[in-house]
Amino acid sequence: MVAGARAMPLVEISELQVEFGRGIEAVRVVDGVSLSMAAGETLGLVGESGSGKTVTALSLARLLPVPPARYAGGAIRVEGREVLSMSPREVRRIRGGVVSYVFQEPGTSLNPVLRVGDQIRESLRLHHPEADTEAEVIRLLAQVGIAAPAHRAREYPHQMSGGMQQRVMIAMALASRPRLLVADEPTTALDVTIQAQIIDLLRDLKGRLGMAILLITHNLGLVGDLADRVAVMYAGQVVEEGPAADLLRRPGHPYTRALIQSVPVLGETRARLPSIPGTVPQPGAFPSGCRFHPRCAIARPECRGRVPELVAAWPGRRVRCPYAGTGGGEVCSGSA
Ligand SMILES: Nc1ncnc2c1ncn2[C@@H]1O[C@H](COP(=O)(O)OP(=O)(O)OP(=O)(O)O)[C@@H](O)[C@H]1O
Ligand code: SF4
Ligand SMILES: [Mg+2]
């Protein structure tokens, strides 16, 4: 590479707009999202339910059903290629070949009548027919920390615990050797101790395989030690983005700050965990001006009318609030 030249991002989403429904009934659920990921990087995508995290992630491999979905604007480049204008054949190469997904409910994603080994072979057959062997299935199961993998490969999903099923889902996703693993709430359906094990596994795989991970979760605490960067979504938009450690230590946007404050701290007893007041706005009924204004602790009268841009607030940090670190004073000065 030429000295000083920047490597091409693995993923570059620019001003993405996604709608559901048609004509005047159309509702925009993702509204101008721009995000990029470098090869090998882990990006945590956080935000409350309905903020558009999954829709954004599914758009990467054009996995939304069209209709009712419609890509209404913007661009998505994966390894430099524009996904939204690709032929169906090219998109199939992106799915699995470059981007693989692991979802929340492993039990519902696995086929109950197929042995788990056969399900992994199916994924191999699709993406790497030359590696479609028993040995590769066993290697993949061992890679995700499943003991006695040869024995486990012959089991059916119902013979496994939820944590084990999620490991199988991750093995299936890895079968295609993706450059980007999208893990959408991969631990939400699991017990707390199993959650920690799956996060450990993702950290281990990230180190060993060097693949990028898009980790989607409601829980900022979860991304704290896994993500390199964090993007926070609210009402279909990114409201803050930056290096994980810095953003968690010095949240700029009042919404990020409120999210962090609602994460329980181990060993700390509080009479009541603060929750964010008000309710998450529904697409089609987003508030005017700053979409967070009805719930914002430091809202000013002008916030109702003025639409804030996502702008560089500090080096490497973008925030969609002109008062981050100024009028709110305490907004930026506190620790997570
Ligand atoms: N197939 C669909 N048809 C209509 N609306 C949809 C569809 N899929 C998603 N939406 C809407 O798009 C919005 C964003 O949904 P999305 O699933 O991306 O949220 P999310 O941030 O992933 O939430 P969660 O944390 O609950 O998973 C929601 O209001 C949702 O109701
Ligand atoms: S623009 Fe106003 S309402 Fe929105 S986050 Fe900033 S201070 Fe709060
Ligand atoms: Mg989701």
Tell me the average pLDDT across 221-239: 92
In this structure, which ligand is nearest to the CA of 297? 2
Residue 78's DSSP bridge partners are 11, 81
CB 234 less than 6 A from any atom of ligand 2: no
Contact 89, 31 (CB under 8 A): no
Nearest CA to ligand 1 atom 16: 52
In this structure, which ligand is nearest to the CA of 235? 1
| Domains defined for the chain, CATH in brackets | 11-98+179-264+273-333 (3.40.50.300), 107-177 (no CATH)
* Mutational pocket test of ligand 2: of 291, 310, 321, the residue with most ligand atoms within 8 Å of the beta carbon: 321
Q: What is the pLDDT of residue 103?
A: 86
Which residues form ligand 1's pocket by a CB distance below 6 Å? 20, 29, 47, 49-55, 68, 218, 283
Q: Model confidence at 190, in pLDDT bands (50, 70, 90)?
A: confident
Nearest CA to ligand 2 atom 3: 293
Nearest CA to ligand 1 atom 26: 49
pLDDT tens column, 176-189: 889 999 999 888 87
pLDDT tens column, 289-314: 999 999 999 999 999 999 999 999 88
Q: How far apart are CA 145 and CA 219, in angstroms?
A: 24
CB 235 less than 6 A from any atom of ligand 2: no
Q: How far apart are CA 260 and CA 335, in angstroms?
A: 10
- Give the H or E element holding residue 59: helix 53-59
Tell me the average pLDDT across 19-36: 92
Tokens 């929750």, located at residue: 275
Q: Report the C-alpha dihedral over residues 188, 194, 196, 197, rounded to 10 degrees.
A: -130
Residue whose C-alpha is closest to residue 181's, from 205, 154, 153: 205
Give the position, in ligand 2's atom list, of the atom nearest the Cα of 331. 7
Residue 279 has pLDDT above 70, yes or no: yes
Q: What is the pLDDT of residue 22?
A: 85
Length of the chain: 336
